[in-house]
Structure formats: C-alpha cells, structure tokens
Amino acid sequence: MCGIVGYVGSQPALDVVIDGLSRLEYRGYDSAGTAVSADGKLTVTKRAGKLANLREALAGADHSDTGRSGIGHTRWATHGPPNDRNAHPHTDCTGAVAVVHNGIIENFAALRLELEGRGHELSSDTDTEAVAHLLEEEVAKGASLADAMRRVCLRLEGAFTLVAVYSGEPDLVVGARRNSPLVVGVGAGENFLASDVAAFIAHTRDAIELGQDQVVELRRSGVTVTGFDGKPADVKEYHVDWDVSAAEKGGHDYFMLKEIAEQPRAVAETLLGRIGADGRLSLDEMRLTDDELRDIDKIIIVACGTAYHAGLIAKYAIEHWTQLPCEVELASEFRYRDPILTRSTLVIAISQSGETMDTLMAVRHAREQRASVLGICNVNGSTIPRECDGVLYTHAGPEIAVASTKAFLTQLIAVYLIALYLAQVRGTKWGDEVFAMIQLLGTMPQKVEQVLETVEPVRDLARSLAGERCVLFLGRHVGFPVALEGALKLKELAYMHAEGFAAGELKHGPIALIEQDLPVVVIVPSRARPVLHDKIVSNIQEIRARGARTIVIAEEGDEAVAPYADTLIRVPAVPTLLQPLVATVPLQVFACELATARGHDVDQPRNLAKSVTVE
C-alpha cells in the first residue's frame, strides 16, 4: 500500500527521499509528500496525484536543499479523499512535528475528539493527523521524539507504520511498526527507513528487520531499536540478495513485461538447492520436524488474489501426492467463520510480500489455535515468514508491477515442493518418485522459455480484442484456477468484465452468457488425462455452437481440439499437475497486451496497490 521513506545522512535528504519514493511508485498511490528538517524548521510539501505533481511543486517552492534528514510518503487513500489536504506528511499545530503513516488507526475518532477538546485544530480527514498532535503534546512535556513515539504508540489501536521528524532534533528520524511493514537500511554514515528495500537498494543492500511493536531511531552514527516499552530489542541483520538493476525496467516498456520475461530464471531460482547431498528433497528454514509433519491430518491453504489461485492449484498436487485432505481459503474470510483447527492441522500461508494483512491475520489466528503454520514468501525479513513455523522463500527477486506474474509461477513451484516434501516425509511417494518429479520440475524453466518465444500471435490476438467488453475463461481440474487467474489479470489491467468458470459448470448457468462472437478462452487439460480432455472438447463444441469465439490453449500435438478453435495457442506438453506453469504465461501476455492497447498503465492499474497491508 502506502510507500514510506526516511533518511538521515550526508546527502541532501530531499533527493534521497524523492528517489526512494519513485522506486515505490509500483505499490500504488494517489498522493505524495515530503518533510525535510533544516535550519531549525520543517519544510513540508505535498500534492495529490502522481509523484510528478510533487516534483513540480518542489521545483517551484523555496525548499531547502541543506536538510540532511527527511521523510516522504506515497498515499493510498483510506480516510478522506485523495487531495492535497489529506496527503502526507501531517503536522501538529506548531509545524514542528511531521508524520507519515501506513495502515489504519482504528481508534482515531476517539483520539481526535480528545485532541479537539484540548484545543487542537485538525485540518485533514485522515486518521494519521491525530498522531502528529499526540506527539506534539508529548514533546511539549519535554519528551524526546523517540520517547514521544513510544508513548503514543501505546495509545493506538490497529495496524500502523509511523515515521516522524521533529525540528527540535534535526538529525533524527524515528519510526514505529505494528502489523505493517518497515525495514531499516544501514549505510556508511547514513541510514534509511522504508516500507520496502527497493527504496534504498541504490544506496545499501544491508538491512535490519524490525519486529512487532518496535521503535527505531535513525541517526548518521547508527540505529537504535527498542520495544514500545523502551527496552532494547534484539535485531536481525540481513543482506539483500539482489541489486538496483533488478528493480529497474532493463529496457522493457513496463515492469510487468520485464517480470514476465524473467519467469524462466525465477522458476530456476526457486528450484535451486532443493536436493540434498543424499538425493532427498530439502527445504530452507523448515522449522517443523519430520515427526510433526507425519502427525498432520489436514492442510488448509490461506491466501488472497493471485496467491489464492496458486493455492487452488496446490490442492490438486497436495491431495494427489500426500493423500491428505486440503482446503483452500480466502485469507480475508478465514478467521471469521471459526475454522476447525487442531494441533494436527498444517496451515500454509502464501504471500508474495509477506505483509498481506488478511493473510497475516489468518496466520495469527491459526497459531492461536495451536495449528502449525508454513509460509511461502518472496521477501526476506517480512512479517509472515517471521511468524510462521517454517518458510519456503521463492527467491523470485523484486516484483514491481502490481499484477503478479513471476510471483505466481514461483509460488506454484513452492507448493509443488512442499507437496513433494510432505510425500517424502510421510512415505506416500517413494524416494525415486519424488526425485523423478523434481527432475521434471527442473525442466520447467526451459518450458516457460519456450512459451515466451512463441507468444507473438497472442499479442496480435490481444490487440484485435481491445474493443471487446467481456471475455470468459473456462478450465477443468488445474485448468480451472488458471482460468480464474486469466480473468483476474484482465480485470486488473484492462478494466474489462472477465470471469473464470469451471467448464463443467457451463450448463448450470454460465452458458447463458454466451452470445455471438463473445471471446471465450479455454484451457485444455493434457491428453494424459483423457476423461478431462474429452469433456472439455465437448464444452468447446457447446459454446462454439452458440456463437462464441473460441480461443483455445492446448498442448503441442493435440489435434482433437483444432477443428473447434478459432484461435489455437500451443504450449509444451507437460504432466497434468504442472500444466499451469506453461498455460498461465500466454494469459499474462494476453492481459498485458490488451490493456496496453486500451491505453492503460499496466504497472499501476487504477485503485490497486501491490501490497495490501490493511484489512
């Protein structure tokens, strides 16, 4: 969601902060602002709209370039419309304190009433501004900014990351976090705060994880971390394993195009190092013992959006390879229906960022019920992996585009690995069977590359459909979640009505939607499953007889579907359970190209944010 940057060092703070905000634009936002401390005062500038509006305002303003500490923010509106008044940073009555905030302060209305009762004048509609005035009261009592932050945080309810500066302590930036991301970048004579390492990766790759309910003090000389209670906190340092080039477009028009092209490498990275010296599958940071895994009698997968579709595919693989019942839940619904969890339940939480609030809350609920929890995540040091009993990192590198592509494919690889690991530990598959499947997974980067080399006709097709108002997607078995994912991509990027259906449900209602020339994308199962294959061929005939324009994704050599396809898209032949790895790629390209043809920014689709850190 919101992007946050803080800096203390020898460089002009405004330059560093603006550069950091530009690297966080992918998160989605509707306004931006900065606050820089210099010459005993704070200079605050903020504008609704894109970062370009803020740059223009700064260029025309008397904004000091001597400040060496500052904060910045890109806002995704929750309280109040996206306008200049509600943009961050927010200041107190005196203009001495400035605050930026990610998250939602649930008791802000009561706090606001208190403050107004004591004479404070609040000028915005936001929940954040109350924090600035609470900090004002504490520093007026003689508290340092860090002490003031600790005291104020104890009064706040909800999820929040807060970063503040105070004109009375010009070489200090203070941050705090509860249920919302914040990471420290450690440099030489300079230090950084950000909601994502991408903001400071051009300056340093050394970082510190911040834990729950912690306050960080940033100075040129170093970093101090305490709990909200003021006691020193243990910190975990780590080194980011990618550099600034990974967070740039690399010659592509869009980050999404770059990330689609990176998928063969990303899949290979996720598979790297998974086979131990003894030939057995091994998973990094698996903190559950083999005995604990053998005691599992049910698996529940929780995720949101694209990650949820990865979970739906995982269900097929887990039940087939492990013989364990597996449920897949939308994380946002999970804890509100009183799910039945025991010590023998394994919850698998899937999140690209590791900060998805709905998924994090599901993880915490599962742990409260004494279930074991395993995370699948791409971001080292994020919250979900830290709160799980084990984690499988996908090592996909940064995903900047809002619409997930390489994260989805690497999540699929991760769930396949977990399913095979469970099968190995529980003895539901022989060692040579597990090894053979790992070998097949090892061929997937090449198969994905093969798809990417042959997608130009998909681009041509997408451009020809730019004027359509609706596209439907059909699939069976693992092709059904692929259909859901294809529809989601089109909704996200092209702002079109798109729906994914299980092909077997056609005659139970959706076939009423079929009309002359309506584009329908059909994902055809592998011929290795003839029952599934033959049934979907019948479905294609049914919709074509009613006038649909059939766009068929089928494996190489499948000639049975050719007579019924208005457009035929070929993908490599792979085992049925692995087909989503190749069948999804043309749908990503299709959505990206169609959205571009309609004039949309595919990296920053309207109303969406990359990481949803509020419920």
- Same domain? 356 vs 503: no
- Secondary structure (H, E, C), 500-535: EEEHHHHHHCHHHHCCCCCEEEEECCCCCCHHHHHH
- Same domain? 163 vs 192: yes
* Structure token pair of residue 32: 């931006």
Q: Is residue 615 part of a domain?
A: no
Contact (Cβ atoms closer than 8 angstroms) between residue 99 and residue 52: no
Q: Which residues contact 61 (CB under 8 A, 6 or more apart)?
A: 45
CATH code at position 382: 3.40.50.10490
DSSP 367-398: HHTT-EEEEEESSTT-HHHHHSSEEEE-----
Report the mean per-residue pLDDT for the chain: 91
Query: In Å, what is the CA distance from 319 to each residue of 467, 498, 502?
Result: 42, 29, 19
Tens digits of per-residue pLDDT, 561-583? 999 999 999 999 999 999 999 99
pTM: 0.77
**Tell me, what's the pLDDT at 38?**
87
**Tell me, what's the pLDDT at 447?**
97
Q: Is residue 101 part of a domain?
A: yes
Q: Which residues contact 38 (CB under 8 A, 6 or more apart)?
A: 64, 66, 67, 68, 170
Query: In Å, what is the CA distance from 234 to each residue of 109, 215, 216, 224, 285?
Result: 34, 12, 12, 10, 20
Q: How confident is the model at residue 28 (pLDDT cuts 50, 70, 90)?
A: low
Contact (Cβ atoms closer than 8 angstroms) between residue 8 and residue 173: yes
Residue 461 has pLDDT above 70, yes or no: yes
Q: Exactly one of 258, 447, 491, 610 is catalytic; which is it?
A: 610
Q: Is residue 167 part of a domain?
A: yes
- Same domain? 80 vs 134: yes
Dist CA 571 CA 491 (whole Å): 24
The stretch 491-512 carries a mean pLDDT of 93
Within a 13 Å sphere around the CA of 309, how many CA atoms are in the beta-carbon half?
Answer: 26
**Tell me, what's the pLDDT at 39?**
84
- Same domain? 124 vs 51: yes
Residue 610 annotated in active site: yes
**Tell me, what's the pLDDT at 272?**
86
Residue 129 has pLDDT above 70, yes or no: yes
Q: How confident is the model at residue 506 (pLDDT cuts 50, 70, 90)?
A: confident
Q: How confident is the model at residue 89 (pLDDT cuts 50, 70, 90)?
A: very high
Q: Is residue 604 part of a domain?
A: no
**Tell me, what's the pLDDT at 441?**
95
Residue 9 has pLDDT above 70, yes or no: yes
- Same domain? 330 vs 386: yes
- Same domain? 286 vs 434: yes
Q: Is residue 589 part of a domain?
A: yes
Q: Is residue 562 part of a domain?
A: yes
Q: Is residue 607 part of a domain?
A: no
Amino acid making up residue 373: V
- Same domain? 204 vs 266: no
The stretch 521-549 carries a mean pLDDT of 92
Of 522, 520, 475, 477, the closest CA to residue 501 belongs to: 475
The stretch 456-475 carries a mean pLDDT of 96
Q: How confident is the model at residue 470 (pLDDT cuts 50, 70, 90)?
A: very high
- Same domain? 85 vs 187: yes
- Decide: helix, strand or coil at residue 58: helix
- Same domain? 23 vs 170: yes
Domain C-terminal end among 197, 231, 247: 247
Number of structural domains, the chain? 3
Q: Is residue 8 part of a domain?
A: yes
Domain that holds residue 518: 452-597
- Decide: helix, strand or coil at residue 146: helix
**Tell me, what's the pLDDT at 281?**
86
Q: How confident is the model at residue 1 (pLDDT cuts 50, 70, 90)?
A: low
**Tell me, what's the pLDDT at 377?**
92
Continuous segment of H or E residues that includes residue 315: helix 305-322
- Same domain? 222 vs 282: no
Tens digits of per-residue pLDDT, 244-288? 666 667 677 888 999 999 999 999 989 988 877 777 888 867 888
Dist CA 301 CA 334 (whole Å): 10
Dist CA 569 CA 580 (whole Å): 14
Tens digits of per-residue pLDDT, 332-383? 999 998 899 999 999 999 999 888 889 999 999 999 999 999 999 998 878 8
Q: Exactly one of 2, 304, 326, 377 is catalytic; which is it?
A: 2
Q: What percent of the chain has pLDDT over 70?
A: 95
Residue 422 has pLDDT above 70, yes or no: yes
Domain C-terminal end among 247, 270, 288: 247
- Same domain? 221 vs 159: yes
- Same domain? 432 vs 474: no
CATH code at position 169: 3.60.20.10
**Tell me, what's the pLDDT at 247?**
61
Residue 166 has pLDDT above 80, yes or no: yes
Of 426, 410, 438, the closest CA to residue 351 belongs to: 410
Domain C-terminal end among 230, 247, 264: 247
Dist CA 46 CA 275 (whole Å): 52
Amino acid making up residue 142: G
CB atoms within 10 A of CB 433: 14
**Tell me, what's the pLDDT at 613?**
60
